[in-house]
Amino acid sequence: MTGTSAHPTHTALERDRPAPPVRIVHLGLGAFSRSHLAWYTQNASDGDEWGISAYTGSSRTLAESLTSQDGVYTLIARDPDGDRTELIRSIVRARSGDDIESLLADVASPSTVIVTLTITERGYRSTADGSPDVGDPAVVEDLALLAAASSQPLSERAPRTVLAKLVLGLEERRRHGGGAIALLSCDNLPDNGGRLERTVMGLARALSPELVEWIAREVSFPSSSVDRITPRIMEAELDLLSDITDDLAPVVAEPFSDWVISGTFPGGRPRWETAGARFVDDLHPWEARKLWMLNGSHTLLACLGLLRGLSTVAEAIADPVCRQAVDELWDEDAACLPSGLDLSSYRAALLTRFANDRIEHRLEQIASDSFAKLRLRIAPVAETLLARGEQSPATAVAIAAWIAACDRGVLPPGAGPKPADGETTLSIVGRLSAPLATNFGYVNSVEDFGNRLSSTCFI
């Protein structure tokens, strides 16, 4: 990195070396992928051999901004001592996600050997077992589109969902004799590689048995656990940065980053381990540590913090009530994790990261899709403890905080399905987890904590 100061000073957003050849296609271009995947790829010892062709969800603005800068942008690592800036050049092309023709060509290209994804939990549009969600109208529409794809040129199809677009790309690759490829999920989902494989296979079955056979033979689905707090830049911050740099698409992130990967890459991969990534045989413990302790506490802080009139993670972790709730949740998380993960150091690092008030990680942003996040980040811990005959009051507080936040109307639009008028706590818990709903003591504890959270004296 270059330059440690109160603000970045880069103005020359241009390539000072040849662009690396495109060997990675990324779906879900946004701030996080640019602070994480793109950073690790550039900083790998062979990063100059690995370029990324990246696609947004649907936004043309980001793609156009990066294209005007030849894919180059500023990454600002922000801590209490100042900002450290670095120009990232690993993104060679940036396009809108609705550019189907380019996407199919990129996935089918023999030089492409990896497709990476950061499409968020919602982007998979699948059920808990990974099957395409046929209750989703967009999925139903895309299944019909895929079923008809064999009779028309693929580039004339326009799927609505990301994974249907990917399946069309894989079919294009198969038709053109493309070789083996790895599909690497970088989303906060348990067993994200397995989830991706099951959803992709479910969609592929709608297209052709030949594609299903080809995927089984030629495609790998490694899993990964990703970690770097990368908040959305607010308008005021963009205005301030625009006075200092001509970058139209800067990214602000914390200095900390972590990436744990498990699985095979049949067409090769960057030496990400030279940039700090860790390759392991069993990802689950690392995945659970991050998903439960970081992401789970974020969801708790979002709901409880908004109830208490707070705005950011730094404010929430400094609040005694929120801090106690997080500590107790981490105790329960730790009781469900194996040894060898250095949990005491990890907890201390999380506190330092959360307290970094120069990273404006807003609770409203974290609260997005919070119902699905509770199911993935909180419910599994409660299920594990209750199955052992133990109590789980901290997870009950997290669920109660979400219910109370819904009732008080402090959650932002996009927070996911909310309790229906008059819906019972038993019904709400049942929608989160069927096993938890069978434990009436646990359901009662959620209701009791909810009553406390709704009291004026508590809030």
Q: Which pLDDT does position 456 carry in this prediction?
A: 53
**What SS3 class is residue 5?**
strand
Q: Find out whether 74 and 245 touch, Cβ atoms under 8 Å.
A: yes
User: What's the token pair of residue 434?
Assistant: 């069927």
- At residue 327, the pLDDT reads 98
pLDDT value of position 184: 98
Predicted confidence at residue 151, as pLDDT, reads 65
- Smallest CA-to-CA distance from 367 within 402, 322, 323 is with 402
Tens place of pLDDT for every residue, the chain, 459 residues?
Answer: 444 444 444 446 777 788 999 999 999 999 999 999 999 999 999 999 999 999 998 789 999 999 999 999 999 999 888 889 899 999 999 999 999 999 999 999 999 999 999 999 889 999 988 999 999 999 999 999 999 887 677 877 789 999 999 999 999 999 999 999 999 999 998 899 999 999 999 999 999 999 999 999 999 999 999 999 998 887 777 777 776 678 889 999 999 999 999 999 999 999 999 999 999 999 999 999 999 999 999 999 999 999 999 999 999 999 999 999 999 999 999 999 999 999 999 999 999 999 999 888 999 999 988 998 999 999 999 999 999 999 999 999 999 999 999 999 999 887 778 888 889 999 999 999 999 999 999 999 999 999 888 775 455
| CA gyration radius, the chain | 22
CA pair distance 55, 26, nearest whole angstrom:
6
**CATH code 3.40.50.720 region(s) in the chain:** 2-279
Q: Which among 330, 325, 357, 332 has a CA at the least distance from the CA of 345?
A: 330
Helix (H) or strand (E) run with residue 51 in it: strand 51-55
For the entire predicted model, the pTM comes to: 0.88
- Position 412 scores a pLDDT of 87
Unique residue bearing structure tokens 């701030």: 31
Which burial class, exposed, middle or buried, applies to 79 when counting CB atoms under 10 A from its CB (0-12, 13-18, 19+)?
A: middle
Indicate the DSSP class of residue 312.
B
Would you state the pLDDT for residue 402? Answer: 95
pLDDT of residue 153: 76
Domain 2-279 superfamily per CATH = NAD(P)-binding Rossmann-like Domain (3.40.50.720)
194 and 223 Cβ atoms separated by less than 8 Å = yes
> Rounded distance, CA 117 to CA 52, Å?
12
Residue 141 CB-density burial (10 A; 0-12 exposed, 13-18 middle, 19+ buried): middle
Looking at residue 121, its pLDDT comes to 87
Residues of the chain with CATH 1.10.1040.10: 284-453
CATH C-level class of 284-453: mainly alpha
Closest Cα to residue 405, out of 327, 328, 459, 333? 459
Q: How many helices (DSSP H) and strands (DSSP E) are in the chain?
A: 22, 13
